């Protein structure tokens, strides 16, 4: 079954970015001149998705407005003869079919995914945590979809971290089956370095089979009264094979100020219109 739909989870409070996220969705923070959420949508398109389901919440209206038509702005640009910019604005609102569902409570990633069930229906689908931006030759989701198409099972993106950092992530117990591809035998949530079964940690991209929905429906709230997607995947792998893809590319966690700043500088350095001046400015600072 072809993966056609991607769920992008954008309903969190963004507490690591307070106070700016008090009134500004963290997904709308700019990386150079595009908001974080646009990078996720573009990655979905590059991976062959036909529809994006954006899971939003109270205070996230700016995301919906961003991908909508802006007739007054388009008229203004047209009157000024800004043809290139006008076309960019029109392309933005026609990138891909986007629909929105509301997560009506901060009840965890598993709950956010579950809210999209009526749109996904009985299909395998992708899940994005847009905080994770990966800069690489092949889009991260495309790498996962390739593994799904080969093995016909759910796929988790994983990255190697130092043993000291395993306490921050879900860590898989891997059985290697191909280059950078593993069957997941177990997932341990935030283990100590001594307890961690490996150094391969779960990152913010998934391809999931539709069986995950019934499991999420039956998964009781865990820590912080939240329904955890990791808990549901743990049950899923007892019923069918679940795979992990050690992706290629550099990951930035834009959900915190330091990761966002690194991503901004790194992406700006790839822009020929910005990189020379930025390089000179950084040299001055140093």
Map 36-50 to HEC letters. HHHHHHHHHHHCCCC
Task: For residue 212, count other CB atoms closer than 10 A to its CB.
Answer: 26
The answer to whether 100 touches 10, Cβ cutoff 8 Å, is no
Q: What is the pLDDT of residue 102?
A: 93
CATH label of the domain that carries residue 167: 3.90.550.10
Average pLDDT taken over every residue of the chain: 93
Residue 58's pLDDT band (boundaries 50, 70, 90)? confident
Could you tell me which residues are beta bridge partners of residue 205? 128
CA–CA gap between residue 156 and residue 50 (Å, rounded): 21
Q: What is the pLDDT of residue 180?
A: 95
Residue 220's pLDDT band (boundaries 50, 70, 90)? confident
pTM: 0.92
Phi, psi of 97 (to 5 degrees): -70, 120
Q: What is the pLDDT of residue 262?
A: 96
Q: Which residues contact 264 (CB under 8 A, 6 or more apart)?
A: 30, 31, 32
Residue 215's pLDDT band (boundaries 50, 70, 90)? very high
Phi/psi-derived region of residue 81, left when phi > 0, alpha when psi is between -120 and 50, beta in every other case:
left
The answer to whether 248 touches 235, Cβ cutoff 8 Å, is no
Look at the chain and report how many structural domains it folds into: 1
Phi, psi of 46 (to 5 degrees): -65, -25
Tokens of 283: 């040299």
Across 34-43, average pLDDT? 96
Phi, psi of 134 (to 5 degrees): -115, 125
Whether the pLDDT of residue 191 is over 80: the answer is yes
Residue 59's pLDDT band (boundaries 50, 70, 90)? confident
pLDDT (tens digit, 9 = 90+) per residue, 63-106?
A: 999 999 889 999 999 999 999 999 999 988 889 999 999 998 88
Residue 114's pLDDT band (boundaries 50, 70, 90)? very high
Tokens of 208: 């999931």
Q: What is the pLDDT of residue 144?
A: 97
| Domain span holding position 170 | 5-285
Residue 111's pLDDT band (boundaries 50, 70, 90)? very high
């Amino acid at each position: 079954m072809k993966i056609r739909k991607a769920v992008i989870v954008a309903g969190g409070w963004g507490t690591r970015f307070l106070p700016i996220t008090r009134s500004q969705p963290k997904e709308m923070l700019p990386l150079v001149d595009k908001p974080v959420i646009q990078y996720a949508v573009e990655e979905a398109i590059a991976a062959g998705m036909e529809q994006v389901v954006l899971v939003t919440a109270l205070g996230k209206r700016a995301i919906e407005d961003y991908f909508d038509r802006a007739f007054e702005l388009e008229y203004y640009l047209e009157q000024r003869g800004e043809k290139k910019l006008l076309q960019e604005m029109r392309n933005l609102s026609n990138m891909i079919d986007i629909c929105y569902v509301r997560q009506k409570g901060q009840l965890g990633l598993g709950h956010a995914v579950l809210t999209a069930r009526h749109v996904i229906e009985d299909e395998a689908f992708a899940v994005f945590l847009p905080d994770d931006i990966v800069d690489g030759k092949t889009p991260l989701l495309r790498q996962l979809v390739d593994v799904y198409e080969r093995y016909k099972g759910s796929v988790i993106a994983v990255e190697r971290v130092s043993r000291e950092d395993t306490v921050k992530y879900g860590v898989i117990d891997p059985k290697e089956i191909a280059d950078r591809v593993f069957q997941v035998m177990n997932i341990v949530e935030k283990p100590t370095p001594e307890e961690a079964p490996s150094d391969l940690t779960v990152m913010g991209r998934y391809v999931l089979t539709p069986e995950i929905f019934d499991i999420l429906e039956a998964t009781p709230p865990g820590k912080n009264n939240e329904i955890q997607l990791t808990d549901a995947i743990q049950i899923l792998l007892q019923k069918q094979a679940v795979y992990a893809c050690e992706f290629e590319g550099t990951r930035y966690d834009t959900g915190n100020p330091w990761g966002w700043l690194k991503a901004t500088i790194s992406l700006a350095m790839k822009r020929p219109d910005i990189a020379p001046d930025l390089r000179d400015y950084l040299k001055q600072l140093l």
